[in-house]
Structure 1
């Protein structure tokens, strides 16, 4: 390049002290495979009027090494083979040959539908090379239809957490159905319909033989009249509210049967009260209930903020637009129960997004 530019005064810097000394004539070239290179370099140097050869440390010559590597890569079009750093020769492929090679190694007769990085390494070991082979392998694997249908489940949430904010007990309930449960109960029940109050964390549940709309509606009247069958859960301390569900509903902690058998300080004090004094104490507890609910609401908001902050760290944003072609996950409600062999497709489709709603909800139809 310097010869073509007509430069006559040239400064040459090299990080190999042996090569610089050999070009200066201080050392003799003994290796036979280096003699042709030495002669060619000497002929090039003779074309300049003034040449100064200097040795620099390798740590100060990183930029030159990088530029030399880029120049070697850009010059591949003029060469049919290239030698890698591990001294292996690889054939350089054109665009059409590269596309055919990727398809054959990935999904051909001997293809294993490997990931992009493994596919690149396999092609490289077979002795092929082109400048964009890493990116081409990654893009081809992303577009492989068979790999998409058998891809692993995506466990990263695509949307941030949206907590349900309630300010009073029983203002909002969360419903969920568990089942089918095998074996069935003695009453031939295979499902459980559970409800949890978003604020107080009060829980109710009923067994079901079949999940029907009328039974779910009937459950609404069941949870409106709170019974004592779930006293164990309602007297459990909740970290979210720093209180028990029973105390947030009635304004006082529940009196467990054990406290009647082995009287506590509270029971001992109340046993000595008259009916009027007990009524006044109960009214005072109910008057303090609003303050207790307000404190629980503040604790709940802080708890939800901490949960949202931890949840957002795992979010991998993913959104679709109307008209996008998508696949839907194909797995049972009970993920621990296998429904097919390991070769069964994990995704169903193809579907087209027809409507986009808020908080990551979509309406899809068959493509």
Structure 2
């Protein structure tokens, strides 16, 4: 209970850590992408590291000007890396996706939903109903259906709720 409400005191340190940590998608820190140079951490100032302690004002000005000249290239490389990272994530996600299509005139079963389910059937009730005829392709993965008697089923149906009927 002694730590309750102290998150506000720790928030600046957490934000500083987040802004000075290189991100996997860009390969750069958000601080670097905004200001054009890497941030000097408070511990580097306190313990006088080589990067901070050996810096000379003249060379620092030259390096800072060079960093500012190169910021557009750094941002462009970060954009390229981010696009590459997004493609890799999409490829990883989509490797298990199997595209299914149905032919017009084919027979399908439709998933039974709770509002169309027979309330007396219990847990052993049908989970699929039909068969239905595919009448028309409305959009990507969306179909119009007809009963075998020729009555049109209201609304279009997504392929997630349909499966092929094999005789």
Give the TM-score of the pair, scaled to structure 2.
Answer: 0.48
Which fold has the larger relative contact order, with Cα–Cα distance below 8 Å and residues 6 or more apart in sequence?
Answer: 2
Q: TM-score, normalised by structure 1?
A: 0.24
Larger radius of gyration: 1
